[in-house]
Chain A
Amino acid sequence: MNITRLFDRSEWLGFAAIAAILLILFPSVIDIFRLNLVGKYLTYAFVAVGLVLCWGHGGILSLGQGIFFGLGGYCMAMFLKLEASTPENTSIQSTPGIPDFMDWNQLTELPWWWEPFNSLAFTIVAIIVVPSILAFIIGQAMFQRRVGGVYFAIITQAIAAILTILIVGQQGYTGGINGITDLRTLLGWDIRTDSAKYILYFVNVILLLGVVMIAQFVKVSKFGRLLVAMRDKEDRVRFSGYNVSDFKVFIFCLAAAFSAIGGAMFTLQVGFMSPSFVGIVPSIEMVIFAAVGGRLSLFGAVIGALLVNFAKTTFSETFPELWLFAMGGLFIAVVMAFPNGLAGIYSTYVKPLIARILPNEQKAANAAQATKVPTKALAE
């Protein structure tokens, strides 16, 4: 497909605006501490973008995206942890050369499944492949048997719960409740320095923009229209000759892979990974990021992830008591009053306003309308 046809005119503007804000505005006005926070929030946008495709367009609500975010993050953390646990660094341990938490839990050698994570190439592949395989298994089992809707939501939530209990319970292998901490270098490059944080921020933003482009490609292809069709009339799609479950499995895997990239970038920027980003609560919060931005809008997902996390940090710093009230209220308000989130508010209220102020835009809007109005009039 021709790259220029990926976005229409207003979408190009939106994409350019987001790219400019993230790549130019934020780095030039925000100090590195806050910029690092923004980078952390943006890792959730990867998840939200996946949810827009999966849930907003496809109607598949996964309450287990934390699973994939976490798996991606843990893969990255395992590599970084092994690099940080050289025999020299860990000489005070009873078994030098293994991660500290293993030593504390009386492990005397590295478990076999940790070994491959000594290789960065393997780790990068694993970040994408491990969560995708899990998503494939879950999706194949559920969608083949036509499980969807609330059942799918509950089962994915249960799997998120299982994974958390497993990680917390298997301390010696996973670092337990504290997670994998004290990560220092990536191939000898210290990721804790300010300059590293700058670079990681830019890598993160560019990856995110790439993910948004991939998502947009899916959205405007026939696949995207099929997703909407499946959400609406699954049986009709089936009887038009499509194997519905294949499509659902694919989009679920894609969303999982997006989340995993987000998780890996989280680990790199924040410097640790723990089960508190895997379980039920973070998973459902990720859904609200997509919902606040607008469940149908890819740009909305990015903005939603930023705004909700920004609000969360601000609230929890100043009024920790109020945060849960605000968060709960947000869930209810977004569902009851603004089901299309900020993107919905934008296209209902702001867009017409812009069209009125900018005559240039108005012409374009009129032109767009012109193709639609007569046909609608005929139908009535």
Chain B
Amino acid sequence: MSAAFALNKGPEASQQDFLLSVEDLTVSFDGFKAVDSLSFYVEENEIRVIIGPNGAGKTTVLDLICGRTQSTKGSIKFRGKELTALKEHQIVHSGVGRKFQNPSIYEDLTVFENLELSFPRGRNVVGALLFKRDHEVISRVEEVAEMIFLKDLLQTEAAILSHGQKQWLEIGMLLIQSPELLMLDEPVAGMSVSERIKTAELLNKIIKDHSVIVIEHDMKFVKDIAHRVTVLHQGKVLSEGSMEHVQNDPKVVEVYLGH
């Protein structure tokens, strides 16, 4: 594991060094601060896993980064570009992809069409009207389908896929966008053991050329993939570092086992 000690550089280091820098991020829902002055940094080609008890604000952090929720204050910079003022689709265009907790796919369309719609071309009205299913699209769809184990199911209606296959399909829909940063919310939740193994294999393939932020509860899975782990608690960073470091942090033990 290439656990680069980015922490040593600290926030005062130039932000350009980081792929993503979140600083002093806060969001409050009617006075309740779901995320509270949160700061963290993700490096190029890093796999960051966010863990934390229920209600720690993990999903909210992803929502804030991808623009689904508006922050109350703070900044999110992606390659030095401020994301907080952008709309969701603009954030996608800058290279951030997001997978939801529950598989979010188009049930009425086939696997092929699901992937095709995520292919990054013809994303405006005119482009969509004139979009052609050419060789480039077909070969890219097939390539991604191969990766996500759905090559033989391209013409299947997505509604009848199994839960695990739907999760894969959504990951595939992200991959075909070729984002630089992938954000996955509990990618193995609800999967069978064999599906988990295949997913870990898939993620290990993906991370070779992407940066990834993953929210996950499955500790074994986290150990397998994480470069660094951020533990959130009540909207704040409780601990950050390698898996071992985090596991031995008394504050983390307190939150998970204490009270």
Contacts and interface: CB of A to CB of B under 8 A. Distances in A.
Contact of A250 (B122, B125, B132): B125
Interface string A205-228: 000000000000110011101101
Given A221-B129, A241-B93, A236 B104 contact: yes
A247 B124 CA distance: 8
A interface, size bucket:
20 to 34
B113 A225 contact: yes
Contact of A243 (B68, B87, B131, B132): B87
Contact of A241 (B106, B120, B125, B157): B120
B155 A371 contact: yes
B109 to A, nearest CB: 6
Given A238-B88, A240-B92, A240-B117, A223 B129 contact: yes
A222 B128 contact: yes
B100 interface: yes
B160 A242 contact: no
Interface string A228-253: 11011101111111111011001000
A1 B74 CA distance: 48
Contacts of A240: 92, 117-118, 173, 177
Contacts of A225: 109, 113, 116-117
Contacts of A223: 125, 128-129, 131
Interface centre among B122, B156, B161 (most CB of A within 10 A): B156
A337 interface: no
Contacts of B173: 236, 240
B153 A222 contact: no
Contacts of B162: 379
Given A232-B106, A235-B100, A250-B125, A376 B160 contact: yes
Interface of A: 1, 217-218, 221-223, 225-226, 228-229, 231-233, 235-244, 246-247, 250, 371-372, 375-376, 378-380
26 contacts: A221-B128, A221-B130, A222-B128, A222-B129, A223-B129, A225-B116, A226-B117, A228-B108, A228-B109, A233-B104, A233-B106, A235-B68, A238-B89, A240-B92, A240-B117, A241-B120, A242-B89, A242-B128, A243-B124, A244-B89, A247-B125, A371-B155, A376-B160, A378-B153, A379-B165, A380-B160
